[in-house]
Each structure stands twice: as C-alpha cells, then as structure tokens.
Copies of this chain bind each other. A is one copy, B any other.
Amino acid sequence: MKARVHVTLKDGVLDPQGKAIAHALGSLGFQGVGDVRQGKVIEIELAETDPQRGREAVDAMCRKLLANTVIERYEIQIDR
C-alpha cells in the first residue's frame, strides 16, 4: 500500500519560500500569479494492507515526525 502525505504551512504562517517563488515567477514575466505556498509531499510504501490501519499508522508518523503540528497541517491520501 502506498500513502501520500501533504505537509503544508497553516494559513497565516508566513511562507518565505512561497513568496520567493511568486517573486521569481513575476520576474520571469508570468502575469496574474497571486499567493504561492510551498509544502512537502512524502510518499511512503507500507507493508500494511488494511487501509484503515495504514491511515492510522501514517497519522502517527505525521504527529511524531513528518509534520510540526504547531505551524503545519497534514493531509493523508491512501492509494491501495
């Protein structure tokens, strides 16, 4: 089973990487670019076959290691 986790900064947390990308896109001549935010995507291969238990395991991984829940939120997607 494969899990895909998105970790992004919570709304309201300043995202300097996103700002830098928006600025660079403007400099390259791209018009109409508004807010840009950058996050991480983590793809994990799991031996677990039960989607529910897989999701619980990945949720624990997010809380313990993958996301800083003070400033980041995460979203788990399970592909069977």
Residues of A within 8 A of B (CB): 6, 8, 18, 21-22, 24-25, 28, 30-48, 57, 60-61, 64-66
Q: Contact: A32 with B61, CB < 8 Å?
A: no
CB neighbours (8 Å) of A42 from chain B are 18, 21, 36-39
How many whole Å from A23's CB to the nearest CB in chain B? 11
* Residue from the list B32, B40, B61 in contact with A48, Cβ < 8 A: B32
A43 and B39 form a contact (CB under 8 A): yes
Q: How far is the CB of A69 from chain B (nearest CB, A)?
A: 16
| A to B CB contacts below 8 Å, 27 in the list | A8-B41, A8-B43, A18-B42, A21-B42, A21-B65, A24-B65, A28-B61, A28-B64, A28-B65, A30-B57, A30-B60, A32-B46, A32-B47, A32-B48, A32-B57, A33-B44, A33-B46, A33-B47, A34-B44, A34-B46, A35-B44, A36-B43, A36-B45, A38-B42, A39-B40, A39-B43, A41-B41
